[in-house]
C-alpha cells in the first residue's frame, strides 16, 4: 500500500472535520477561539486521529463513526502542545513551523486556548453519545479511556515526571516509565478507542492495544532520536533541546545505536501483534515501520 497517499487522504478528512468542529465566533470569546483554531488547524501529522481511524478499519469498523473520537484526540494533543510550549514548561518559540500560541497571541490567551481545546474534546465525545444513543455506552467507555490516558494517570502525570527528571540522572526504567505516560498513553488510547468503536472482538481490542503500547514507545524513541539527529527545518521546531534541558531520553540512557535497535525490536513486536489481522491492518503495519524512517 501507498502509506504517503493513505496519510494525506486521512489528514485531509481529519482537517475538514476539525475545521467544522470549531467554527469562528464573533462574540466576546472571539480571541480564544481564534487562538484555538490557530493551533488546532495549523499543521501537524494528525497521527492520533489517523491511528484511531486505522484501528477501526483494521476491525472493519466505520471511519465516519470514529471521527468525533479522532477529533477529540487531536484537540487534546494540541492543548498539550500549547501548554508544553509555555514559558513555565518548555518555553518554545516555534511549533509546527510557526510561532507557538503564546508567541502569536500572549501567555494568558495560550493557557485559555489549551483549556478551551481540552474541554471542547470532551464536549465532542459527549455530543457523539447524544447524537448516537445506540453507541452511547461505547462512547462513554472511550471517554473514560481518553480521560485516563490524558489526565494525571497518563499524559499530565508523565509531563510532571518529565519536568521533575530534568537535570537528574535517569535509568532506562525511569525514561520508559515517563514516556509510557507522557506520550505513550494517548497514542495507545487512540488505537484502543478505534478498535472499540470499530466493533472489534475482545481479543482484537487487546491485540491492537498491545500494538498501540509498542507504537507509543517507538514514537518516543524516534522522537528523542530526531531531537539529536533531525533537521529543525523539516521538523518545524528546534532540535538539540533535550540535551540543553538535560531531559531524560532514550539516546541519553542507551546511546544512539542501542536506541535505534530497541526501536527496531519494538516494530517487530508490533508487527507480530498484528499477525491475526488481514490486509485491513496494513495501514497500521506501515505506520509502525514508518516511525523508523520518519523525519518529522
Interface ranges with ligand GRG (CB under 6 A): 44-45, 47, 77, 80-81, 83-84, 96, 155-156, 159, 182-183, 223
| Nearer to ligand GRG among residue 200 and residue 283 (C-beta) | 283
The grid coordinates of residue 251 equal 539516546
State how far the Cα of 149 lies from the Cα of 176, in Å rounded to an integer.
16
| Shortest Å, Cβ 289 to ligand GRG | 17
| Shortest Å, Cβ 92 to ligand GRG | 9
Q: Are 219 and 247 in contact (CB under 8 A)?
A: no
| Shortest Å, Cβ 113 to ligand GRG | 13
Q: Are 248 and 168 in contact (CB under 8 A)?
A: yes
| Shortest Å, Cβ 27 to ligand GRG | 27
Q: Are 7 and 50 in contact (CB under 8 A)?
A: yes
CB atoms within 10 A of CB 207: 22
- Parallel, antiparallel, or unpaired for β 94-95 and 98-99? antiparallel
| Nearer to ligand GRG among residue 83 and residue 188 (C-beta) | 83
| Nearer to ligand GRG among residue 204 and residue 222 (C-beta) | 222
| Shortest Å, Cβ 96 to ligand GRG | 5
The DSSP string of 201-231 is: -HHHHHHHHHHHHHHHHHHHHHHHHHHHHS-
| Nearer to ligand GRG among residue 84 and residue 176 (C-beta) | 84
Instruction: Give the CB-nearest residue to ligand GRG.
Output: 44
| Nearer to ligand GRG among residue 100 and residue 204 (C-beta) | 100
| Shortest Å, Cβ 201 to ligand GRG | 29
- The DSSP code for 159 is H
Residue 145 host element (H or E): helix 136-150
Q: Cα Rg for the chain, rounded, in angstroms?
A: 18
| Nearer to ligand GRG among residue 77 and residue 285 (C-beta) | 77
| Nearer to ligand GRG among residue 21 and residue 183 (C-beta) | 183
| Shortest Å, Cβ 206 to ligand GRG | 25
The closest of 180, 188, 190, 187 to 159, measured between CA atoms, is 180
User: The dihedral of CA 62, 66, 67, 68: what is its sign?
Assistant: positive
Amino acid at each position: 500500500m501507498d502509506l504517503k497517499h493513505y496519510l494525506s487522504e486521512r489528514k485531509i478528512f481529519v482537517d475538514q472535520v476539525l475545521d467544522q468542529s470549531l467554527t469562528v465566533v464573533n462574540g466576546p470569546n472571539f480571541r480564544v477561539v481564534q487562538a484555538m483554531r490557530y493551533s488546532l488547524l495549523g499543521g501537524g501529522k494528525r497521527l492520533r486521529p489517523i491511528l484511531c481511524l486505522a484501528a477501526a478499519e483494521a476491525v472493519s469498523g466505520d471511519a465516519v463513526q470514529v471521527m468525533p473520537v479522532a477529533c477529540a484526540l487531536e484537540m487534546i494533543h494540541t492543548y498539550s502542545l500549547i501548554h508544553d510550549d509555555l514559558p513555565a514548561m518548555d518555553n518554545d518559540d516555534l511549533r509546527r513551523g510557526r510561532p507557538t500560541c503564546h508567541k502569536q497571541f500572549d501567555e494568558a490567551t495560550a493557557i485559555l486556548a489549551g483549556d478551551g481545546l481540552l474541554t471542547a474534546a470532551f464536549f465532542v465525545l459527549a455530543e457523539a453519545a447524544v447524537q448516537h444513543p445506540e453507541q452511547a455506552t461505547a462512547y462513554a467507555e472511550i471517554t473514560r479511556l481518553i480521560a485516563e490516558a490524558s489526565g494525571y494517570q497518563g499524559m499530565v502525570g508523565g509531563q510532571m515526571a518529565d519536568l521533575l527528571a530534568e537535570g537528574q540522572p535517569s535509568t532506562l526504567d525511569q525514561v520508559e516509565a515517563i514516556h509510557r505516560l507522557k506520550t505513550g498513553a494517548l497514542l495507545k488510547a487512540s488505537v484502543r478507542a478505534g478498535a472499540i468503536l470499530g466493533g472489534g472482538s475482545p481479543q482484537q481490542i487487546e491485540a491492537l492495544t498491545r500494538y498501540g503500547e509498542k507504537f507509543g514507545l517507538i514514537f518516543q524513541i524516534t522522537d528523542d532520536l530526531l531531537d539529536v539527529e533531525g533537521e529543525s527545518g523539516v521538523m518545524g521546531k528546534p532540535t538539540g533541546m533535550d540535551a540543553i534541558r538535560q531531559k531524560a531520553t532514550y539516546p541519553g540512557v542507551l546511546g544512539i545505536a542501542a536506541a535505534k535497535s530497541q526501536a527496531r525490536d519494538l516494530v517487530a513486536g508490533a508487527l507480530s501483534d498484528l499477525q491475526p489481522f488481514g490486509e485491513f491492518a496494513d495501514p497500521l503495519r506501515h505506520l509502525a515501520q514508518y516511525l523508523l524512517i520518519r523525519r518529522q
